[in-house]
Amino acid sequence: MATRDAVFALLCAALCVLAVVAPTAAAQESTASGPGVEPLVQQGVEPDSTRIVVEVSERGDARWEIQYWTRLDDENTTEAFRSLQDDVRANPDDYTAAFAERIASTVGAAENATGREMAATNVSVAAETRSLPDSFGVVSYSFEWSNFAAVDGDRLVVGDAIEGFFLDSSSRLILSWPDDYGATTVEPAGDETRENAVIWRGTQTEFVSGEPNVVLERGAGGSEPSATPTPTPTPATPRRPPRATTRSRRRPRSSRSRSSFSSVPARSISARGARSAAATAVQVQSTR
């Protein structure tokens, strides 16, 4: 359990060093002082949401892309993002150095927890604008995670490397797989599913012990996974009722009892606020 907690803590720290949030006191030294978040804040760019995109290959490797989305809805924010975009292009190493270090630690802890040899390679950063049709600035950090999923012949088991992964209310996790594979198990059920992808949103889902757990089999496309997704409800309808034998799948609004990490919306902390929080008690942290 201690090793699993270490994986969870390190991954949160690695991801959150780039968002406008701060770590818990236990991780204050390693994360609050990390340079990854400072360039974004200093440029006046505060992310509104985070999308974590994981593309699993048939070899069990995965390409991770962590996208920080900022709505460009006023002149100041738009100009600040343009400045950030220019700086990312000119000085990418300034943005990837701390991130790469923390991801390497995370993957090392996951390697110890799963018993599979792993590595994080090809770390990169990019900044671009997207129109959907509203205009957004997107800063994306990507890397390759070898042996992320367990491989057993034509079967892939995904999730043990990030058991108990935490999504805050502004984040979503998007897991996709090769076209010739299908999901036979999806735990917990996705908040949205597609032919070769499942999406969990932090506003709806909390991963408990043993989750996420996705079993993929070659040639199983079109079959129903064992955890059938709940249809999208109207705003007044509860997303997922409590299970009789365990706690609710709805995210509690209080801090999580099984870890020392809690979350605040990225947009609620200014540069000064982030530094102040780091000095006291710091907090951690469609589809494309």
d(CA 190, CA 2): 28
The pLDDT assigned to 226 comes to 52
Whether 99 maps to a domain, the answer reads yes
Res. 192: pLDDT tops 50: yes
Q: Check: CB of residue 95 under 8 Å from CB of residue 17.
A: no
pLDDT of residue 46: 82
The span from the CA of 76 to the CA of 79, in Å, is 5
On the question of pLDDT at 97 being above 50, the answer is: yes
CB count in 10 Å sphere of residue 53: 21
Mean pLDDT, the chain, integer: 73
Query: E strand or H helix at 51, and its extent?
Result: strand 49-56
Q: Report the pLDDT value the prediction gives residue 230, as an integer from 0 to 100.
A: 45
Instruction: Assign 107 to helix, strand or coil.
Output: helix
Position 263, amino acid:
S
Q: Is the pLDDT of residue 114 over 50?
A: yes
Q: Please determine, for residue 60, whether its predicted confidence score (pLDDT) is greater than 60.
A: yes
| Mean pLDDT value of segment 127-148 | 95
What are the distances in angstroms from CA 7 to CA 11, 32, 201, 207, 251? 6, 18, 21, 14, 21
pTM above 0.85, yes or no: no
125 belongs to a structural domain: yes
| 241: preceding bond cis by omega (within 30 degrees) | no
Residue 286 lies in a domain: no
Whether residue 285 lies inside any domain: the answer is no
Rounded Cα gap, residues 155 and 186, in angstroms: 14
Residue 225 banded pLDDT, cuts 50, 70, 90? low
Asked if the structure places residue 287 within a domain, the reply is no
Residue 288 lies in a domain: no
Q: Degrees (nearest 5) of the Cα angle 121, 127, 130?
A: 125
pLDDT at 34 over 70: no
CA gap 87, 17 in Å, rounded: 18
What are the structure tokens assigned to 283, written together?
């907090």
Q: Within a domain: residue 284?
A: no
Residue predicted with more confidence, 190 or 35:
190
> What pLDDT was estimated at residue 227?
52
Give pLDDT, residue 44: 62
H-helix or E-strand spanning residue 112 = helix 92-114
Question: Residue 104 falls within a domain, yes or no?
Answer: yes
Query: Within 10 A of 101 (CB to CB), how many other CB atoms are there?
Result: 17
Asked whether the predicted pLDDT for residue 218 surpasses 80, the reply is yes
Q: Residue 258's domain spans which residues?
A: 2-279
Region 202-227: mean pLDDT is 84
Quote the tokens at residue 165. 């992964």
How many structural domains is the chain composed of? 1
Q: Among 98-107, 201-210, 212-221, 254-263, which stretch is predicted with the lowest mean pLDDT? A: 254-263
Question: How does residue 163 score in pLDDT terms, banded at 50, 70 and 90?
Answer: very high
Closest CA to 66 of 143, 4, 181: 143
Torsion of CA 185, 190, 192, 196, to 10 degrees: -30
> Which among 9, 7, 5, 1 is positioned nearest to 261, based on CA atoms?
9
For residue 40, the model assigns a pLDDT of 58
Query: What's the CA gap between 13 and 24, in Å, rounded?
Result: 9
pLDDT-derived band at 224, boundaries 50, 70, 90: low
Give the per-residue pLDDT at 260: 25
